[in-house]
Chains A and B, each alone.
Chain A
């Protein structure tokens, strides 16, 4: 008779509670929690910090969505680190081979509990979708790379908003009150340049890398007020100097901007989605819009969104398909060497794109 070996692994829920207990201990040792409230895609979200160490790393990107207080937050996220709180986290009850390609921890994801480990930041993210309660842990604030500060709690937001009918999308977004566009495209295709170059002009900024789309109403929501530029381009955006957060680290990091509070009046928190633009470098001297297909938009949006988000798969692909089928799609060709961050071209481009959004024109070939 073969003896059945019982697994010593706790259930995902039990391990969540063990980590949650450790958070409470950390909070107590730090003298209580620091609470911050936000309205994200119209949902009240509470961030609880055990001690102050992570506050300045996590909150700046969300600050434009801050609200004073919410009595009934729809989601609570407990944020903590072991070093500053002097509190150890329980050891992982899984093995090396349980880390999935996108950071999902095999065996610790089910309908209720999602568990992700992000290599690089070495951050553990767990969410209990039934209690609307999440945990974000890193060993030390020093482990938090600049790109996580630019897009904090990304995995959590994806997992939670997915249940709320709101899709997290890897794309930039620009707009005016009456409408906005998603700016999709490969890394290095000019998304951030186009989005950040709008600051100070007619178009307003919703994000350069990630944003949220309500799947039913097709309303576009800003998630982060941050933006990133390769170090070589930072000097071209001198009008954003006040928002640059890491000037002294540009030899090893991209330039990370927080547009709030310096450019708070240039930010837009939501707008109806009017079109999807696929950014790419063209050969012409002027920026140009040409019609593209929904398949082009799906190809531009889906792989980069799905490959970087754990637990994103066939349902996310369906959600993105519905979105790309619902609005017109265009290629936005911009000159590779000639797209200046300032000057006449920037102003003409910006107001033409604003006019395009405003009038919802369907043009075969539009020079911006």
Chain B
């Protein structure tokens, strides 16, 4: 599968999300991170979830936004790479994109109006990671029950 046909999936049981009022709130249950996507980023997420390939997505963005194509390609590629790196999406193996009926991107204005392209960004929050038990259990009592204290995990500085 070429890069342009690349499709993605978000069916990772640890990644849950909801789209509300044009924003996407994403939680990674295994890592304790949460994320926010606004406007263009949220639309791209929804498109990915609807099965659009990278190429289909880009074509829809070209027709929707009055902005240089190279700029769209550059920012969307960077955004998708970020989503992959965070483990929020993964490349889907399967049928080529041509066999899938593309679901158009959500549009806020009517067809004759070009929308403002906002560079998609992934807002990442790590401040709640300490709520999760991420350290392996070492100390147990004679009956086998954990007897240690919960260790605080080191909190990386949040991007927000």
Q: Which residues of A contact B (CB under 8 A)?
A: 88-89, 91-92, 96-97, 99-103, 117, 119-120, 122, 124, 139, 186-187, 293-295, 298-299, 302-304, 306-308, 313-314, 317-318, 321, 324-325
Please tell me which one of the listed residues A92, A122, A294, A302 contacts residue B21 in the complex, with CB atoms under 8 A apart.
A294
Q: B21 and A293: CB pair below 8 A?
A: yes
Q: A120 and B29: CB pair below 8 A?
A: no
Q: B29 and A313: CB pair below 8 A?
A: yes
Within the assembled complex, what's the spacing in Å between the Cα atoms of A321 and B32?
19
Does B147 interact with chain A (Cβ within 8 Å)?
yes
Minimum Cβ distance to chain B for residue A198 (Å): 26
Q: A92 and B145: CB pair below 8 A?
A: yes
Minimum Cβ distance to chain A for residue B132 (Å): 4
Q: Which residues of A contact B134 (CB under 8 A)?
A: 101
Does B73 interact with chain A (Cβ within 8 Å)?
no
Minimum Cβ distance to chain A for residue B21 (Å): 5
Within the assembled complex, what's the spacing in Å between the Cα atoms of A304 and B33?
10
Within the assembled complex, what's the spacing in Å between the Cα atoms of A17 and B144?
19
Q: Which residues of A contact B27 (CB under 8 A)?
A: 302-303, 306-307, 317
Q: A295 and B149: CB pair below 8 A?
A: no
With A101-B132, A295-B25, A302-B27 known as contacts, the answer to whether A92 contacts B144 (CB < 8 A) is yes
Minimum Cβ distance to chain B for residue A64 (Å): 27
Q: B18 and A318: CB pair below 8 A?
A: yes
Please tell me which one of the listed residues B23, B32, B132, B136 contacts residue A293 in the complex, with CB atoms under 8 A apart.
B23
Q: Which residues of B contact A (CB under 8 A)?
A: 16-18, 20-23, 25, 27, 29-30, 32, 34, 36, 125, 127-128, 131-134, 136-137, 141, 143-150
Please tell me which one of the listed residues A92, A102, A318 contacts residue B132 in the complex, with CB atoms under 8 A apart.
A102
Within the assembled complex, what's the spacing in Å between the Cα atoms of A96 and B145?
10
Q: Which residues of A contact B143 (CB under 8 A)?
A: 88-89, 91-92
Q: A124 and B21: CB pair below 8 A?
A: no
Please tell me which one of the listed residues A99, A304, A313 contacts residue B131 in the complex, with CB atoms under 8 A apart.
A304
Q: B132 and A307: CB pair below 8 A?
A: yes
Q: Which residues of B contact A89 (CB under 8 A)?
A: 143, 145
Q: B146 and A304: CB pair below 8 A?
A: no
Q: Which residues of B contact A306 (CB under 8 A)?
A: 16, 27, 29
For the complex of A and B, 4 pairs with smallest distance between CB atoms: A295-B23, A120-B150, A303-B34, A307-B131
Within the assembled complex, what's the spacing in Å between the Cα atoms of A99 and B132?
11
Minimum Cβ distance to chain B for residue A310 (Å): 10
Q: B141 and A139: CB pair below 8 A?
A: yes
Minimum Cβ distance to chain A for residue B131 (Å): 4
Within the assembled complex, what's the spacing in Å between the Cα atoms of A103 and B149?
13
